[in-house]
Amino acid sequence: MSEGVKKRIGIIGLDHWYIGREAPAIASRRGDAEVVAVAHSNAANRQILATQWNIPHQTDDYLSVATDPDVDVVVTACTTAENVDLCLAAVEHGKHLVLVKPCAMTVADAERLASAVARAGVLAMPFESHTRFQPHARSISRWVQEGLIGTPLSATMVSRYSIHGAQLDWPGQPNPNAWWMDPARVPGGGWMDHSIYLIDWLRWTLQDEPVAITGMSRTLVHKDLDPQKEDFGVALVEFSRGVVATVEVTWSSPKDNGLTNWQFAGSDGNLVYDGSVNPSIVVRSSQVTADPSAWHTLQPDTYPVPGTMSAGRVHAGGSYRTSMSAGPLDHLLDCLADGTRPIATIDDSVLTLRACLAFYEASRTGKTVNL
- CATH superfamily, domain 7-122, is NAD(P)-binding Rossmann-like Domain (3.40.50.720)
Judged against a pLDDT cut of 60, whether residue 310 lies above it is answered with: no
* Region 64-75 average pLDDT: 98
* Region 87-116 average pLDDT: 98
* Region 27-40 average pLDDT: 96
**What is the pTM for the complete model shown?**
0.93
How many Cα atoms sit within 13 Å of 100 on the Cβ side?
29
In this structure, whether the domain defined by 131-319+352-370 belongs to CATH 1.20.1740.10 is answered with no
Q: What is the pLDDT of residue 325?
A: 66
* Region 52-64 average pLDDT: 98
Domain boundaries, the chain: 7-122, 131-319+352-370
Dump pLDDT digits (tens) for 224-255: 999 999 999 999 999 999 999 999 999 999 99
Give the number of other Cβ atoms within 10 Å of residue 123's Cβ: 21
Band (pLDDT 50/70/90 cuts) for residue 300 is: confident
> Is 230 in a helix, a strand, or coil?
coil
E strand residue ranges, 60-167 = 73-76, 96-99, 124-126, 152-160
Dump pLDDT digits (tens) for 146-190: 999 999 999 999 999 999 999 999 999 999 999 999 999 999 999
Band (pLDDT 50/70/90 cuts) for residue 290 is: confident
267 Rama sector, left if φ>0, alpha if ψ -120 to 50, beta otherwise: alpha
Band (pLDDT 50/70/90 cuts) for residue 4 is: low
Picking from 38-42, 93-97, 125-129, 316-320, which range would have the lowest pLDDT averaged per residue? 316-320
Contact call for residues 157 and 149 (beta carbons, < 8 A): no
Judged against a pLDDT cut of 80, whether residue 2 lies above it is answered with: no
List of residues 6+ apart from 323 with CB closer than 8 A: none
Give me the residues paired with residue 369 across strands.
213
CA–CA distance, 170 with 344 (Å, rounded to integer): 28
Taken in order 108, 131, 67, 20, is the CA torsion positive or negative?
positive
CA–CA distance, 348 with 323 (Å, rounded to integer): 24
Greatest C-alpha distance within the chain: 63
* DSSP letter assigned to residue 252: B
Band (pLDDT 50/70/90 cuts) for residue 292 is: confident
DSSP 168-229: EEETTEE-TT-GGG-TTT-S--HHHHHHHHHHHHHHHHHT--EEEEEEEEE-SS-TTS-TT-
* DSSP letter assigned to residue 296: E
Contact call for residues 189 and 105 (beta carbons, < 8 A): no
Mean pLDDT of the chain: 92
Task: Report how far Cα 325 is from the mean position of its chain's Cα atoms.
Answer: 14
CB burial string 76-97: b at 16+ within 10 A, e below: bbbbbbbbbebbbbbbeeebbb
Distances (CA, A) of 242 to 111, 164, 212, 288, 355: 27, 36, 11, 25, 16
Task: Report the run of H or E that residue 85 belongs to, with start and end.
Answer: helix 80-92
Task: Report how far Cα 295 is from the mean position of its chain's Cα atoms.
Answer: 30
Contact call for residues 337 and 104 (beta carbons, < 8 A): no
Dump pLDDT digits (tens) for 338-367: 999 999 999 999 999 999 999 999 999 999
Q: What is the pLDDT of residue 162?
A: 97
Q: What is the pLDDT of residue 291?
A: 86
